[in-house]
Amino acid sequence: MSDTSEERFAPDRLRCEYAANPLGIDERRPRLSWWICDPATPRGAAQTAYQIQAASSDVELAADRSDVWDSGKVESDQSIHVEYAGPPVQSRRRYHWRVRFWNAAGRPSEWSEPAWWEMGLLEASDYSARWIGASLVGGKEIGAPAPYLRKVFALKGKPASARLYVTALGLYEAQLNGQRVGEWVFTPGWTDYRRRVMVQAYDVTAAVRKGDNAVGAILGDGWACGHVGPVGRQFWSDRPKLLAQLEVCYDDGTSETIITDESWKTATGPILANDMQKGEAYDARLEMPGWADRGFDDSAWQPAVVFDDVRANLVASVGPRVREIQTLQPVAVTQPRGRVYVFDFGQNLVGRVRFRLRGQAGETVQLRHAEMLNSDGTIYTDNLREATSTDSYTFRADGEAEWEPRFTFHGFRYVELSGLRGQSWGRPGHDLSGEPTRDQLTAVVLHSDTPPTGQFECSHPLINQLQHNIVWGQKGNFLEVPTDCPQRNERLGWTGDIQVFVRTACFNMDVGGFMTKWLIDLADSQQDDGAYPIVAPDILHSGENGTAAWADAGVICPWILYLCCGDTRVLERHYESMVRFVEYMRAEAGEDLIRPVRGFGDWVNADAFTPLDMIATAYFAHSTDLLGRIAAVLGKDDDARKYRKLFEDIKAAFCREFVTETGRVFGGTQTAYIMALRFNLLPDSLRPVAMANLVEDIERGRCAAWPYLSRSGHLSTGFIGCKHINLALTEGGRLDVAYRLLMNEDYPSWLFPVRNGATTIWERWDGWTPEKGFQDPSMNSFNHYAFGAIGEWMYRTVAGIDLDEGRPGYKHAIIRPRPGGGLTHARGSLDSPYGRIECAWRIEAGQLHMDVTVPPNATATIHVPAASAKDVAESGKPLDAAEGVSNVRFADGAVVCEAVAGTYSFACPA
């Protein structure tokens, strides 16, 4: 498979279930996707038919022997999520596949490069391994040293193939013959372990040999045993446990399986403590060199303990795991006091530090992590609450050591290094009495492997920094589950946060697999009464489960995934669950369809309280509306009618209860008007009045905290309103006000933190202010993506990349940039399921230039902001003479046309 053969007339970028060549999946009807490439058709490249072949090996495939499945020529333009339809898939089997397409002229392309997917273990009976671990158990507060486990086994020959299937309650790092297996960290990943534990499969053919071999693992506490959220340790398991199965196959067709069982041995080593929130303590004097090699003397090790009472449902790994994504070097080192040094990485990030330091045997260094500094230059840690985020390392011998913790991560920009005696700083040749140097610490950025897909850039440097902050907020919080924040003792899959951010997330990165996995976590945590939780995996079991705008993530997130990724299966799979949720709300609302007061409201708003029963009823309506549309997509016409009707009834109830005849919405806040407008809860006649009231509040509204001051052009929204405010203003014809909100640099605004040095999105509009300093440390994260939901508006409106609900996944794109706010250029791009969409505009010498790319096998409706079609040229030709352009018309204040795939260059008077 190749992403580089762009010029070949063939499908490219082959994917199976959002991944390139996934190993060890358990999806029984895997879906295949590809981009088409038709270099000879610059405009109008499209697929009119495809053919997929699957074979038992790439040799068979190359020899045109599709011995597993041949779709034959299928007349269809579908190039994403095509279901494999061959014989039932089998555990362990690798499926090699390739695809070709017929283009718009009916000409067959070349075959794609081959790709593959490999099934993991599909049946419980495929597993013979047993859960093992050590006898040491930590307590509610403190964990035990990390267990090391190992076993030596002999193989009768060099295997033709070998797979390691492995998982843990807690975390594992597997080793084979002294080599680390794989590059993922925090495996097996985070799920509700009572319901499911994910198993990773690794191709270890190259790591095993004839004769004696050693397999081993180090276990960490992770989410299952260590501190998780604010609920302490041992939530799922009292200690970490391992389950591993190594399967080797020989050329003669025979095979052998090595499993975790009582024959394994265990000991503790240098990892004295490890915890996601507290950090890791490592004493290198306790290292056991060669512990994962066959020759190691393990006579002092204890037999492993076997646990037969673990009732975990083993499933294949779904979606991407976490890995090292990049590294950063410090931009400065300071010495705020004594021998305490503070390294500034210039970026609030999530991960940990790798160091190379000199020290003396027995000397311990400490690394403490923080997002901000106090005014005296020391690190500010109050907002971490109970998460001490401290790593420590004790030198084994005099000299240089390199170290990086294994089983912890921190949210930080600054690292405080202390504990080294002065004379030992530096590398050989370095001034030993001197200061630590920047190159001695490296920040390792960790997050789920969600490759970048979008880019946004414009002529305003602070807005570009805002986009940067949004992306880094996403990087820091897309770690196994979409979390609220990565630093304090929380780090939970808060449902409210992701439902406002998910559309932005879908622009920035390929989150299809990541969200697919988390939606399973969410469904796993749905209550019996149908309520979705406020966090998933649900560790809080809160009385607030089911609450408005949080629980609604269960409907909103699948819907957004469907829109952005064209993924219908996610709707199918969660349909029953969504119905149960809407019915739960209906039961809670009762006859009058008004939901009761509870929940978090418009969380962290700027002094603008929006009534809770109103928010709850508005979201009840919104989720019901979406469910009706989802039912229609799935062809469930009766349900579609039923929920459309219910939506209309809730809308009527909402108006009766919360809207006056003159168009005032109860509460009178910006968020109240925004919800009423965006969720279509008002009669058409009242929409203009509601819009006017919204704008009036932005311009002149007063708030409880400073009633003598008006908002004078500022937003007051919290999480709920911030996602929708600029969308509502744009839809209501007040693009000017939307741009004004985006451009504001004083509190409360998106650029206020940017102007104050933010490198990620803050939890609160006033996380830090020059006048008041830090907000309440009990809730003041500096890496919280929710307010970054403005990113969606920036891509959709400023750059103008949008989608058509009727042809999701950007099969048909809507390109509609809306220049404004004094910007002179903006550019957005998105690697959509069909290929790269781009829209770049610039204003130069009174002309507006707009360059647009519509990917192959897709089409677009393009809006050029011009007064008349006569004013618009495309590649120097009049618009209606342009190749690939049709149905030119004037609509919604712009010249609108339909376009086939291709690259276009429009120009018109600015």
Question: Quick one: 92 or 724, whose CB is closer to ligand BGC?
Answer: 724
Question: Phi then psi for 62, rounded to 5 degrees?
Answer: -65, -30
- The residue range among 57-65, 461-469, 490-498, 499-507 that interacts with ligand BGC, by the rule CB under 6 A, is 490-498
CB of 604 to ligand BGC, least distance (A): 8
Question: How near is the Cβ of 472 to ligand BGC at its closest, in Å?
Answer: 17
Closest approach, Cβ 483 to ligand BGC, in A, equals 9
Q: What span, in angstroms and rounded, lies between the C-alpha atoms of 357 and 395?
A: 10
Q: Which residue is nearest to ligand BGC (CB)?
A: 484
Q: Is 538 in the site for ligand BGC (CB under 6 A)?
A: no
Q: Any catalytic annotation for residue 844?
A: no
Kindly tell me which of 453 and 499 has the beta carbon lying closer to ligand BGC.
499
Is 371 a residue that touches ligand BGC (CB under 6 A)?
A: no
**CA atoms of 119 and 451, how far apart (whole Å):** 23
Q: Which of 485, 686, 860, 888 binds ligand BGC (CB under 6 A)?
A: 485
Q: From the CB of 578, what's the least distance to ligand BGC, in Å? A: 21
Residue 600 found at the interface with ligand BGC (CB under 6 A)? yes
Residue owning tokens 């045109």 = 64
The amino acid at 164: L
Residue type, 204: V
Could you say which DSSP state residue 86 is in? S
| 562 part of the interface to ligand BGC, by CB under 6 A | no
Residue range at the interface with ligand BGC (CB under 6 A); choices 303-311, 360-368, 482-490, 571-579: 482-490
Q: How far is the CB of 490 from ligand BGC (least distance, A)?
A: 5
- Establish if 602 lies at the interface with ligand BGC (CB under 6 A): no
Nearest to 563 by CA among 853, 798, 833, 836: 833
User: E strands of 112-263, at which residues?
Assistant: 115-119, 131-133, 147-155, 161-169, 171-176, 179-180, 197-203, 211-220, 241-249, 255-259
What part of residues 52-71 is at the interface with ligand BGC (CB under 6 A)? none
Q: What is the DSSP letter of 804?
A: B
Q: Classify 342 as helix, strand or coil.
A: strand
Choose the catalytic residue: 17, 173, 763, 792.
763
Q: Which is nearer to ligand BGC, 414 or 787 (CB)?
A: 787
E-state strands within 646-783: 768-769, 773-774
Separation of alpha carbons 883 and 872, rounded Å: 14
522 binds ligand BGC (CB under 6 A): no
Q: Tell me if the bond preceding 30 is cis, omega within 30° of 0.
A: no
Compute how many other C-beta atoms are within 10 angstroms of the C-beta atom of residue 888.
Answer: 18
Alpha carbons 279 and 257: distance in angstroms, whole number: 36
763 is catalytic: yes
Q: Which member of 603, 619, 654, 752 binds ligand BGC (CB under 6 A)?
A: 603
Sole binder of ligand BGC in the list 165, 345, 494, 532 (CB under 6 A): 494
Which range of residues in 53-61, 489-497, 578-586, 673-681 is near ligand BGC by CB under 6 A? 489-497
CA–CA gap between residue 56 and residue 59 (Å, rounded):
8
DSSP structure class, residue 797: I
Q: Which of 247, 490, 838, 874 is catalytic?
A: 490
- State CA 209 to chain mean position distance: 38
Q: Cα separation of 55 and 100, whole Å?
A: 15
- Decide if residue 785 touches ligand BGC (CB under 6 A): no
Q: Which lies closer to ligand BGC via its Cβ, residue 391 or residue 484?
A: 484
Nearer Cβ to ligand BGC (458/557): 557
Token representation of residue 211: 């004769």
Closest CB to ligand BGC among 361 and 597? 597
Q: Which one of 484, 521, 524, 831 is in contact with ligand BGC (CB under 6 A)?
A: 484
- Please list, in sequence order, all residues whose beta carbon lies within 8 angstroms of the beta carbon of residue 528, skipping any fewer than 6 positions away: none
CB of 485 to ligand BGC, least distance (A): 5
Instruction: Report helix, strand or coil for 519.
Output: helix
Give the whole-angstrom CA distance, residue 318 versus residue 189.
Answer: 9
For residue 881, count other CB atoms closer than 10 A to its CB.
10
Cα–Cα separations (whole angstroms), residue 222 to 273, 497, 757: 11, 23, 32
Pairwise CA distance, residues 765 & 768, whole Å? 8
Contact status: 496 vs ligand BGC (CB under 6 A): yes
Binding mask 762-781 for ligand BGC (x = CB under 6 A): -----------------x--
Taking contact as CB under 6 A, which single stretch among the options 494-502, 812-820, 868-876, 886-894 is the one that binds ligand BGC? Answer: 494-502
Cα–Cα distance between 536 and 518 in angstroms, integer? 8
- Contact between 787 and ligand BGC by CB under 6 A: the answer reads no
CA distance 169 to 133: 10
Cβ distance to ligand BGC smaller for residue 310 or 779 = 779
How near is the Cβ of 515 to ligand BGC at its closest, in Å?
A: 18
Q: Which stretch binds ligand BGC (CB under 6 A): 112-120, 375-383, 452-460, 484-492?
A: 484-492
Give the one residue of 17, 192, 490, 524 binding ligand BGC; rule: CB under 6 A. 490
Site for ligand BGC in 399-418 (CB under 6 A): none
Give the residue numbers annotated as catalytic, written as ranges.
490, 763
Q: Which residues bind ligand BGC (CB under 6 A)?
A: 484-485, 490, 494, 496-497, 600, 603, 779, 784
